[in-house]
Structure formats: C-alpha cells, structure tokens
Amino acid sequence: MLPTEVLEQIVDASKENRKTLAACGLAGRQFLPRSRLHLFASIVLGSPRIDISRRGGATYPTGLTRCDVLLDILLANPALALHVAELVLTEGGHPHLTVFWISESTTLVPVVHLLHNLRSFSIRCVQAQHSRWSSVLATTLQTCIARPFLRSIEIAALHVYDVGALFAAFDCDAPGRVLDCLRLSDVTFAEDWDADSAPASPLVVHALNVAFHFESPDEGQLVHILSGPRPLIAISRVHHLRLTVGEDLAVFRQWLELTAPSLEQLDLRFFDAVQNPLMLRLRLLRFEVSINTVSKCFDIVDALLAPDLREITWRLRPGNTFNMDHCRPIVVSLIAHATELFPRLTRVRLDLGQRFSDKWREDLLDLCEDLEVYKSGLLVVVVRIFVCSREIC
C-alpha cells in the first residue's frame, strides 16, 4: 500500500480532468476523499435539456435540472458542500431552445445555503439573450455575498429590472468586507430606480472589470449606480480597473475620475463599434497558418461570438519550420485566450504537421508540460518524429 501523500499526489495530477477524477473515486476508498475534493471544488449549473418533440411556444425540461440533482447529493452527504469553492450559473444558447431555469428554480436557494466555503460566484448568459432578474436570483446573490470567504463575483449579460433588489443584495451587514474581484459584463438596467435603496455599507472591491461589447447607455447608468451618493461599491477604493471600451471615451474618462484616488493598475481593451454576428451552431474552427500568421489568429478568435464552440484546430502549413523559442509564448497565450472566450471548448488540436529530428522531442515535451490544458486532456499535439529513419509518432 502506498502512503496517503503519494496517493493524493496521483489524484492531484489529474485535478483538471473530471473524467479521470471520477474514475479515481471509483477505483478505491483511498482515492475517494481526494477525488471528491477536486470534483466538487467548482460547480457549474446550466440550463437543463429540453424536449423538442412537444409543440407550442414554450420549451420543456426533460427531467430534473442539475441543480435539483446537486441538492439531493448535498443533502445525502452534507460534507461535500464544504468542498465547493466556486459556483457558476449559466443560461442561454439557441433563442428558441433555451430554458431560463434560474427564475423558476425551487432548489437553487437551498443549495446556496449549504455552501459555507464559497469563494467565487458567477452568472453567465449569451450576450444576445440576457438572463432574467428574479427574486430567486436576488436571494441567491445576497446569500453568496454574505458568505465570509467570498472573494469574486461575476455577472454577465443580465438585465436588472429591480435595481433596488440588486442594492439589497450588495448591502453588506459586516462593514469592512472586501472582494478581490467584481466582473460586470453587458449588464443592463431598468430606466427608473430609487437611489434611497442603495446599501448603507458598500462592499470594498480591489479589482473591477467592466465590459460592454457594444455601445450602450447602460454603461452610463452603471457609472451612476457605482458612484452615486450611496454607491453600490466603494468605487474610490478600487486598485485595479479593467475596461473594455469603444469609440465613446466620455464614459471612460468618468471611470478614471472615479477611481483616480486609489487606482494602481489600468487595463484597456478596445472593441469595434460594429457588433459581430452571433454564431450559435458553430462547433468546430480550423486554422491553416504559417509561422508568420499565427499571431493574427488572436484577432479572428476575438471576433467570434460562438458560445457552443467545442474544438479549435491549428494546422501548420507544409514547408514551415516550427521554431520552438519563437512560437512557444504565442501558442501558450493563444490557447489560454481561446479557453477563456469559449467556455464549452473541449479540445484544442495543435497539428504541427511535419517530421522533426529526434532533438526536437525534448523541446516539444517541455512545451506540453508547461501547459495545464495539456495535462487536463484539453490540448492535443500532433507531430510525426523520425528516429533512425523510422517514424515513431
């Protein structure tokens, strides 16, 4: 029998691969506790599958949602809830085949009440389909913010028609609470809201990330909500500001004025005024590139709005020589950027497409070992290597 520390290291080596973790948990009792630790560290609850055979304007879930199943699991084994550090809620997809389950969920709030060690909470939706604000979501957000270890909140593509409820959710009962990061992306608001409902003790946020991927008056409303007489957060204590800005720099100047007293780092990202089309059915993206055009893939990847993209392949054109020192940082950055933009990406295929001498083998292995996505099984590297005039890979 191997020592417990060795068994834990074996499981830790596969912490990014959920299939391997599940297999480890079934392999024996020695692997189960460590496997559960990684399996339940991050929970993603998305829209349930639907029954498209039924006619009519509404969509119908085929059965229990993932949230319903998770509640049953946590009630049967409450200790598992202590492992959950990240909770992600997702909605969106095809405009006629999406169940907006959060507003109608009866199990989401009970689930959140069990997550006492929560450190990160996110709600994400496709940009063209804003999630619906509801009392369920307001209670969920308020419960998460009340968790003592929470350090990060992300809200993407959400329409808030009850701004007062948003203020109530951010009202911190314990003065001095600090968030490491607050990310707000394409959040829209109702036109009328009552400033008197603003929180008496606003949260302190060290890093604020604001992104609007199209010109919108809601960015001005967000500035007002965050910086009014009774602001949503302590905007004057933000140290790191990251903005996605367009052609209108008036709001940009407002952000700088608000954060000037404490700002230590400013990150800017520019977008085109014309919104890129939403490609809901795109699953596979293939590039055939030369060494000199690899970096241009960044612009193409940024231009895509493909929420269901599953695989990206980069194939090197015949006759190109793969320079490890030159391409290594580009490949690492490109893969990391793609996995951030496309949450459903399951495979990145790097086809070098040429035969190397054996001396390149070590360099190639070093490249792969530095990539967490390679260890998790996300990255697949295809290369043919000759040793003694015999092809081995």
Confidence check: pLDDT of 208 > 90: yes
Looking at per-residue pLDDT, the higher value among 378 and 162 belongs to 162
Q: Position of tokens 């560290």?
A: 41
CA–CA dist 266, 251 (Å, integer): 15
> Which is it for strands 204-211 and 120-125: parallel, antiparallel or unpaired?
unpaired
Give per-residue pLDDT as tens, 135-157. 999 999 999 998 989 999 999 88
pLDDT at 10: 81
Give per-residue pLDDT as tens, 246-265. 666 677 788 888 888 888 88
Looking at mean pLDDT, say which of 13-17, 182-186, 212-216, 335-339 comes out highest: 182-186
CA–CA dist 105, 108 (Å, integer): 6
CB 381 within 8 A of CB 374: yes
Strand positions, DSSP E, the chain = 42-45, 86-91, 120-125, 131-132, 152-156, 158-160, 178-185, 188-189, 204-211, 240-245, 265-270, 284-289, 311-316, 347-356, 379-387, 390-391
Confidence check: pLDDT of 112 > 90: yes
Give per-residue pLDDT as tens, 9-59. 888 888 878 888 888 888 888 888 888 888 899 999 887 654 444 444 444
CB 285 within 8 A of CB 304: yes
pLDDT range class, residue 380, cuts 50, 70, 90: low
pLDDT at 18: 80
Average pLDDT over residues 295-310: 73
pLDDT range class, residue 291, cuts 50, 70, 90: low
